[in-house]
Amino acid sequence: MDVGSDQYLLSCDWGTSSFRLQLIDIPSGRPLAGVQANEGAAIVFDRWKNQKEVERAAFFMHVLGRHIGELARQVPFSLAGIPVVISGMASSSIGIMELPYAELPFSLDGAQARTYRMDPSRMFPHPVLLVSGVKSETDVMRGEETQLMGLRRQFRSNAVFLFPGTHSKHIHVQNGFITGFETYMTGEIFHLLTSHSILKDSVQRPRLDVEPGGEELAAFRKGVNHPWGGNLLHAAFQVRTNDLLGKLDKGLNFFFLSGLLIGNELRHLKEEGKAAQASEVVLCGGQSFTTFYRQAAEELGIRQQLLTVSDEAAGLAASSGHLSLLHLL
Compute the distance between CA of residue 283 and CA of residue 270 in angstroms, rounded to an integer: 15
Q: Which residues pair with 19 in a beta bridge?
A: 14, 37
* Length of the chain counted residue by residue: 329
CA 298 from chain centre, in angstroms, equals 23
- Cα 158 to Cα 174: distance, rounded to the nearest angstrom: 5
pTM score: 0.91
Contact 160, 171 (CB under 8 A): yes
CB 261 within 8 A of CB 232: yes
Angle between helices 186-196 and 250-271 (to 10 degrees): 150
**Per-residue pLDDT tens digits for 11-33:** 999 999 899 999 999 999 999 99
CB-count burial class (<10 Å; 0-12, 13-18, 19+) for 37: middle
- Domains (ranges, CATH) in the chain? 8-142 (3.30.420.300), 186-311 (3.30.420.310)
- Judge residue 53's burial from the number of C-beta atoms within 10 Å of its C-beta, 0-12 exposed, 13-18 middle, 19 or more buried: exposed
Per-residue pLDDT of the chain (329 residues; tens, 9 = 90+): 344 558 999 999 999 989 999 999 999 999 999 999 999 999 999 999 999 899 999 999 999 999 999 999 999 999 999 999 999 999 999 999 999 999 999 999 999 999 999 999 988 999 999 999 999 999 999 999 999 999 988 887 789 999 998 899 999 999 999 999 999 999 999 999 999 999 999 999 998 777 888 999 999 999 999 988 779 999 999 999 999 999 999 999 999 999 999 999 999 888 766 666 778 899 998 778 888 999 999 999 886 678 889 888 888 999 999 999 999 98
